[in-house]
Each structure stands twice: as C-alpha cells, then as structure tokens.
Homo-oligomer: A and B are copies of this chain.
Amino acid sequence: MAEKITKRSEDYSQWYIDIIVQAQLADYAPVKGCMVIRPNGYAIWEHIQQALDKMFKDTGHVNAYFPLFIPESFMNKEKEHVEGFSPECAVVTHGGGKKLEENLYIRPTSETIIWSMYQKWIQSYRDLPILINQWANVVRWEMRTRLFLRTTEFLWQEGHTAHATYDDAEEETVRMLNVYKTFAEEYMALPVFHGKKTESEKFAGALHTYCIEAMMQDKKALQAGTSHNLGENFAKAFDVKFQDANKELRYVWATSWGVSTRLIGALIMAHSDDNGLVLPPKLAPTQVVIIPIFKDDAEKQQTVDAARKIKMQLIEKNIRVHIDDRDQYRPGWKFNEWELKGVPIRMELGPKDLAAGQVVCARRDKTEKTDKITMKLEEISSKIPLLLDEIQKNLFDRAKKFRDDHTFQASSYDELKKYMEDDAGFVQCFWAGSREDETRLKDEMKATVRCIPFDQSGEKGKCIVTGKETNVKVIIGKAY
C-alpha cells in the first residue's frame, strides 16, 4: 500500500506490474514462468467465468472435463498441430516412481485428447452436433513471461465442437467469436476489432482462425480471444467418421475457441490509471465500497448502522457492496486502497452527511474532486445502479475514443513503417500480401497483421506491400 505505482508515462511495463503486485491480483510463483492468482485477481476471473459460462450455455453448450495428460503419440497425429505446440510442451516422463512407457505431455490445448474421445462417441449424424466446453489449466513453456499476459501455466476455457457439415462448423466458429466480441464490449468495456487471422497467424491445425483484437493504453494490440474452424483435420487425424442421413460415412467437422486469464491483463491495461486498477462495474468483485467516517465509538455506530441499511438496499438491487469499517486505518488511507483496487464507486458517509440526509460518492473512472456526487439517502437505491451503468459506458466510450484516435490509415509502406516506429497505434491499410510479406513486416517493423476485419467497406486500393489491387483492408499493429 505504501509503495508508489510507477507512472504510465515513465515506464508502462513497470506500471502494469506495479498495479498487479500492489492491488494483490497476482504474484510471481517460485516455478519459473508461473504465477499465483491471488484472491483479488481470482475474483475477477470468477466474474468473467460466470458471465461467459452463461453465454456459452445460452448458446447450447455444456461443460465437461478431459485429462490433463496427452500421450506423445496423440500429439504427433496432426502434423501442423504437433509442429506448433510440441516445442512448448512440458513432458511427464515418470509416474508413481517409474519411468513411463510413453511420455505424457501436459495439455497445451486439448484438441487431440478430445478428438480421441469423440472417435468413441460419434457414430451417426444423430450424435451431432457435440457442443462441449471445458474450463481448465493449460501449460505452454514460455521463455519470456509477463503476469496474466503470458505465463507457462494459465487458466482458460476451450470449446470443442463437432458438426456434420462445413457450414455448421463455420457458423459455430463465427457465433462464438461474436460471443467473445459481445463479452469484451459489454462486460469488459473493451472495444474490439473482430475478423480473420492471416495464414501465418492462424492456429496450428486450423483451416482458419477468427479473433478479437483490442488496443491497450500503450497502443499495442492484444489478442483477446480466438475461434478456429478446424475443418476435417482432427477428424482425419483421429479417424472420426459419422454415418449421415443417407448412410454414407463422412468425416466430422470441428471447431475450437478459447479465452484465458490473459483477459485480466487486458482489463488492467485498457482501463487503469496511475492511481491503480480501474474495473468495469460488470466485472468488479466489489462494485460499491462504503466508508463510514467516524471519530469515536458513537459516530462509528451511527455511520456503520447507516452503511448497513444502504448495503441492504443495494443488495436488493443485486449490487456487490462492501463496508470498510476497520478501525486501524484512516479514511484517506482507505480511499487510496480502494482506488488502487479499482472499486467503481466509493461512498463516503460521515455524521455531517447523515445529518444532511446524504452521502458523497466518488467515481473510480473520474477522479477529480469536482466529479464527486452528493446523493440523498432516499435516492441511493435508484441512482447507484444508473451510476454503475454510466461508469460502464464511460469506460467503453473512453477506450473506444482512445483506439479510434490511435488508428490510422496508411497508403504507403513507408507511412506504415513510420507509424509503427513511432508506436503510434493501429494502421488500417489495403493488404494482399503473402506469408513472406508478413515476415517482412515482423522483421522490419516488429508488426503483424492483427486481423482482416469482418467489417469491410468494399472500396478498392493498392496493397501496402505488393501494390496489387485489392478490396481487403487489414489492421496492422505491434502486439503482446
């Protein structure tokens, strides 16, 4: 608490880490590249899970759980997949005191183990679709890690669905990307571009990959969710066929889609400020903190009693409220602590306020003294829900304005390069490049094509690298 948060303008990376450590969202684990998600951080994950899980179930999905271990031979069945993932796997060679006959990989993702089961479960078109999601931990050995954004072990959900036709699989792939977009924008208050990945950025083993891409406050891109149309690749690798209505045997079509604890990193980097975490109300574990202000026991009793009444009113409105009535800290110290922790509304409540029949509310998203709101006691239960909505909307609008202000149009390679060298933000430009052209972007400006947005104007222009005419515009940026 006493420590200072590095300013964003001084050292953006350190600012990010300072917030995580000081708000006790996560900590470095004694195992290289791993993190501990502390209760303050895990509570955010629980709210992310609840909201997403409901959206998955509303779209017909069910949860299941598949093993952590994947036999080495399974990994080798899908060629692109093994090339993509094998180098970053953790390998179990011993179990129960003995060397294993076959090495086991800790799942970096579960396509292979799941499709080995679908092979047993799918015989007929009547068994399709299978719409399964899994909440799990996965492990990818990372050389350079950063809390929440890239850790050796992380938590995620992975949907794995099986369909009778390409069209069904494609529809599912896009549906789930749209679920992610809705979640990012409505819950995380995070505007995203949604679209398709280029060939060199797609998932190892997919026909094509769709993604949502957000801009962080340092103007870098963060891939916040992906949805893959896997085609028949895994069905072929694991020999999963079904008998269609005409009694013909066909391969099953697959999708997979996932988001991870990385979303917590995105939340932090999109909204927070130099005073600490800023959480969108819909995902804030505590939405309102009430701080009774008292000088003696009589005042304490009076203000805490009033705080409890307010809390009950707000609980009835399904608002998550905490009363901080600790004796050992002064109000100013508490204000700073809850600011650091990102609680959307702080309600101050002293004897004078009570005498005047009012409380004072401070918004976490607007921290000027003039932004404080005085609220009559009888207005609280109607006004606080509206204020939370307003904060949610303000965070989204602010993030969207920031992104729009830092998304540029470029019509020449040099122009693009200049924007990237200046770390100016995203560039939108015509693109008809190849894998090699993408490599050139990486080498020459450390940038990547983030996505080919679904929303295209249809206008034509010249590709920024090849000069070929095209009607496709892409988003280019530096990425986490």
**Chain A contacts to B: CB under 8 angstroms:** 27, 29-31, 34-39, 42-43, 45-46, 62-71, 74, 86-97, 104, 106, 113, 116-117, 120-121, 126, 132, 136-137, 139, 141-143, 152-153, 155, 328
Contacts and interface: CB of A to CB of B under 8 A. Distances in A.
Contacts of A94: 90-91, 93
B29 A104 contact: no
Given A90-B96, A93-B93, A136-B137, 10 more contacts: A30-B113, A30-B117, A35-B67, A36-B66, A37-B64, A39-B63, A42-B63, A86-B97, A87-B96, A92-B93
A99 B189 CA distance: 43
A62 B322 CA distance: 14
Contact of A93 (B46, B89, B91, B137): B91
A242 to B, nearest CB: 16
Nearest to A65: B37
B68 A139 contact: yes
A96 B92 contact: no
A328 to B, nearest CB: 8
Contact of A67 (B34, B43, B132): B34
Contact of A31 (B39, B71, B96, B155): B71
A96 B143 contact: yes
A69 B39 contact: no
A153 B69 CA distance: 9
Nearest to A31: B69
Contacts of A37: 64-65
B97 A87 contact: yes
Given A69-B153, A96-B88, A43 B63 contact: yes
Contacts of A34: 67-69
B71 A92 contact: no
B64 A38 contact: yes
A421 to B, nearest CB: 32
18 contacts: A27-B120, A29-B66, A29-B67, A31-B69, A31-B70, A31-B104, A34-B67, A38-B64, A42-B62, A42-B65, A46-B63, A87-B97, A89-B95, A90-B92, A90-B95, A91-B93, A91-B95, A92-B93
Contacts of A104: 31, 90
B153 A68 contact: yes
Contacts of A38: 64
A57 to B, nearest CB: 10
B29 A95 contact: no
B93 A31 contact: no
Contacts of A39: 62-64, 132
Contacts of A155: 65
Nearest to A143: B96
Nearest to A155: B65
A25 to B, nearest CB: 11
Contact of A96 (B30, B67, B69, B141): B141
A135 to B, nearest CB: 9
Contacts of A27: 117, 120-121
Nearest to A93: B93
Contacts of A139: 68
Contacts of A97: 86-87, 141
B143 A36 contact: no
Nearest to A34: B67
A23 to B, nearest CB: 14
Nearest to A30: B116
A471 B132 CA distance: 55
A36 B64 contact: yes
A157 to B, nearest CB: 13
A22 to B, nearest CB: 13
Contacts of A152: 95
Contacts of A120: 27
Nearest to A67: B34
A194 to B, nearest CB: 28
